[in-house]
Amino acid sequence: MRALRTAASGMAAQQLNVEVISNNIANMNTVGFKRQRAEFQDLLYQNVERMGAQSSSQGTVVPTGIQIGAGVKAGSVYRITEQGSPTQTGGTYDMAIDGRGYFQILMPSGETAFTRAGNFAVNGEGQLVTDDGYEVQPNISIPQDAVDVSISKSGQVQVKTAGQTEPAIVGQLELATFFNEAGLEAIGDNLLMETAASGPANVGTPGEVGFGQILHGYTEASNVDAVAEISNLIIAQRAYEMNSKVITTADQMLSVSAQVKS
C-alpha cells in the first residue's frame, strides 16, 4: 500500500517544518536573525494510466489519465531577508543596517564571513570586533583617548579625542551585497558564508545605490513574528496528526483484508 509511505513522507515533512519553526522561535531575540521558512513540493508521480493514451482501437484517448503522487518533500528551507526593526540600544559600537547589505567579518581562518548583527565592541588593541572577538573589515581602530564615537549613515567613523574640538575620521565601514542572499550559508554565531549559490560579494559604501544605511546606536531585531510562528506551529501539528490518521486507516484496511477467510 503506497498510502503508508505517502503519509510517512507527510509526517517527515511536518517534522522538518516544526524544526524550522522552533529554531525561529528560539531566535526571536537574536540580533540580526532572519527567519526561515520550509517550502514543500510534491514528490514524483506514477503514471498508472497515461493521459492521451489510446483507450480503444477506434483511436479514442484517455482524457485525464491516472497519476498517483508519492507524497511530499522539503523543496528548500530559505531565509526571509525582510528588514528587522531597529532597536535603540545606545551602545557606542552598536550599528544596524537599514536596507540591503552585510558587515564583513574576518574569521580567524582568514576567510570573510558576513553578518547583519551589528552589536560590535572594541578589543584590547582598540580594533572594532564582534562579540566573539573577530575583526570587522575594513579594519577600524579607535584611539585609546577617544571620548566620543559617532558613525554616520554612510558608515564614516568619527572620533572625538580629549582636548580636541574637531572630530577626526578614523575609518570607513563597508557593506557587502549579494545577487542571491538566500544562498548564503549560515555557520552559527549570526555569521553567514559566501557560497557558489550566493555569488560573489559586491562591496560598497553604505548609502550608495543598492546599499543600506548605518544606524548608529541601534541593533537590528530579529524579524521573527511570534504570532505567525505559533499559528504555523499549530498548522504543522494538525497536519502531522492527519498524516498519522492516514497511516492508521491504511493499516486497518490491510488488517481487514488479512482477516478475510474462506
Partner 1 sequence: MENAAYIGLSRQMTLRRELDIVANNIANADTTGFKVEQLLVGTEVGERARNAFVRPGVSFVLDKGVGRDFGQAALEQTSRNLDFGIEGEAAFFKLNDGAGEAYTRDGAFTLDPEGRLTTQGGAAVQGDGGDIILDPLLGQPTVAADGTISQDGEPVGRLSIVRFDTLAALEKGGDGLYRNASNAAPVEAADARVRQGMLEGSNVNPILEITNLIEIQRAYESVSRMIENANDLSRRSVERLGRVS
64 vs 53: CA distance, rounded Å: 9
Q: Does the footprint of partner 1 cover residue 250 (CB under 8 A)?
A: yes
**Which CB, 115 or 223, lies closer to partner 1?**
223
56 vs 38: CA distance, rounded Å: 45
**Which CB, 123 or 180, lies closer to partner 1?**
180
Helix (H) / strand (E) containing 9: helix 2-26
**Which CB, 173 or 236, lies closer to partner 1?**
236
* Of positions 26, 54, 69, 186, contacts partner 1 by CB under 8 A: 69
The sign one gets for the Cα dihedral 199, 201, 207, 212 is positive
Residues in the chain: 262
Least separation in angstroms between residue 214's CB and partner 1 is 17
Least separation in angstroms between residue 10's CB and partner 1 is 3
Contacts of partner 1 in 92-131 (CB under 8 A): 100
**Residue 37 identity:** R
62 vs 70: CA distance, rounded Å: 22
Contacts of partner 1 in 151-190 (CB under 8 A): 177-180, 182-183
| Site string (31-50) toward partner 1, x via CB under 8 A | ------x-xxxxxxx-xxx-
As given in the structure block, the three cell numbers for residue 155 are: 558608515
Contacts of partner 1 in 207-236 (CB under 8 A): 209-210, 235-236
Residue 146 has φ and ψ, to the nearest 5°, of: -70, 135
Q: How many residues bind partner 1 (CB under 8 A)?
A: 75
* Of positions 9, 130, 137, 222, contacts partner 1 by CB under 8 A: 9
* Of positions 15, 22, 29, 67, contacts partner 1 by CB under 8 A: 67
Q: Are 145 and 162 in contact (CB under 8 A)?
A: yes
Burial degree of 191 (CB within 10 A; 0-12, 13-18, 19+):
buried
* Of positions 82, 109, 162, 227, contacts partner 1 by CB under 8 A: 82
